Structure 1
Amino acid sequence: MLLRRFVLAAVAFGLSALPALAQSNDPSFNLVNRSGQTIMEAYASPSSDSNWGVDRLGRDVIPNGRSYALRLPPGECVYDIRVVYQDRRSEERRNVNTCQLTDVVFGQQTGGGQPGGGQPGGGQPGSGPAAQSPQGNPSFNLVNNTGRTIRELYASLSTDSNWGDDRLGQDMVATGRTYPVRLPQGDCIYDVRVVFDNNQAQERRRLNLCEVTNLTFP
């Protein structure tokens, strides 16, 4: 009788542990919209990645009060998530361990987030030069309506003295396509430069990217 109880207890423990093991490396989650407006775009990329990747909604949208199952490949668990609302305002969650979550809810943040993905507490009044510079989320979508392929993209703070690295890396942006450009939270004022496949270039200077969702060339 004692042996039978031990066996049953072991089986019960094993069965109860299986779901946790099965979900331990699955970063998929339900994106829940409680923002009061429709979510038009959603991006989810491992926090170790340098860009947002493709819009995971495709042709779908998420009306207020609805949820959408985002299927992500097993493996990495720590993701950055970005949504774009129908008024073109964006909102982000950073370093989220989605393997430990079922739902990720947008629209329930406190702390007075600002339109354009502003980060609460980005600066204190009267704290010097930083208080005079807009703070928030400068990430944007590069839209190529030029008729030529964009081969290189540079985006640097207007206070910097050089352009820095090509933010496309190995990618290119064909005419008529859109490319999400991921920039760190903080200062908003950027200079942007694109180089086309014929080596011609165009620039935009002193842009407040925190107020821009789609940056279109030309």
Structure 2
Amino acid sequence: MRKYLAVAAVMTCAFAAPAAAEDLEFLLVNNSSSTLTGFYASAASSEHWEENLLEGRILASGYEVTVTIADGLTTCIYDLRGVFQDGDVLEDLALDLCELGEYTFTD
């Protein structure tokens, strides 16, 4: 089954305001039919994926979690990668997470 991505824009001040020391927070929602086992965010200028932001946890279908990117960078533009229990891997590139505030995976 192929997963499709949906990005929901919400008020920046609600979810994506940088926390402290350039940390970036946003809401990650899994509305797909498969469990999210890995979630990676790297600055769009990077050639490599950073560590798994779920940190050994999973995000089951129908759940959401606040994700913090604490890389110390001043950018808002990130590439995102989701790895699912059913084997699907999805990438979405050059997203402005400061503007979005929320990112949703759907079928």
Q: TM-score, normalised by structure 2?
A: 0.76
Match of 1:150 among 13, 27, 36: 36
Q: Which amino acid aligns with 2:13?
A: R
In the alignment, which residue of structure 1 is the partner of 2:13?
A: 89
SS at match of 2:69: coil
CA deviations on 1:100-137 (whole Å, 9 max, x unpaired) are xxxxxxxxxxxxxxxx4258xxxxxxxxxxxxxxxx76
Q: Is the 8 A contact 1:138 1:187 kept in 2?
A: no
CA deviations on 1:159-196 (whole Å, 9 max, x unpaired) are 00110211111210000000111013521000000000
In the alignment, which residue of structure 2 is the partner of 1:197?
A: 85
In the alignment, which residue of structure 2 is the partner of 1:173?
A: 59
In the alignment, which residue of structure 2 is the partner of 1:206?
A: 94
What is the root-mean-square deviation in Å for CA atoms of aligned residues?
2.3
CA distance in 2: counterparts of 1:118 and 1:147, whole angstroms:
30
Match of 2:17 among 92, 110, 117: 117
CA distance in 2: counterparts of 1:146 and 1:197, whole angstroms:
11
Q: Which amino acid aligns with 1:175?
A: S
Query: Structure 1 pair 187/143, CA: closer, same or farther in 2 (3 Å)?
Result: same
Query: Structure 1 pair 165/87, CA: closer, same or farther in 2 (3 Å)?
Result: closer
CA distance in 2: counterparts of 1:175 and 1:169, whole angstroms:
18
CA distance in 2: counterparts of 1:153 and 1:203, whole angstroms:
10
For the pair shown, the structure with the greater C-alpha radius of gyration is 1
Gaps of 5+ in 1: 1-85, 92-115, 120-135
CA distance in 2: counterparts of 1:137 and 1:154, whole angstroms:
15
Larger RCO (alpha carbons 8 Å, 6+ apart):
2
CA distance in 2: counterparts of 1:196 and 1:171, whole angstroms:
12
Identify the structure with the greater strand proportion: 2
Q: How does 1:4-19 map to 2 (within 5 A)?
A: none
CA distance in 1: counterparts of 2:66 and 2:90, whole angstroms:
18
Q: How many residue pairs align between the two structures?
A: 93
Identity fraction in percent = 30
CA distance in 2: counterparts of 1:159 and 1:89, whole angstroms:
25
Q: Which amino acid aligns with 1:89?
A: C
Identify the structure with the greater helix proportion: 1
CA distance in 2: counterparts of 1:88 and 1:208, whole angstroms:
11
Q: TM-score, normalised by structure 1?
A: 0.39
In the alignment, which residue of structure 2 is the partner of 1:100?
A: none
Q: How does 1:178-189 map to 2 (within 5 A)?
A: 178-184=64-70, 186-189=74-77
Gaps of 5+ in 2: 1-9
CA distance in 2: counterparts of 1:153 and 1:210, whole angstroms:
18
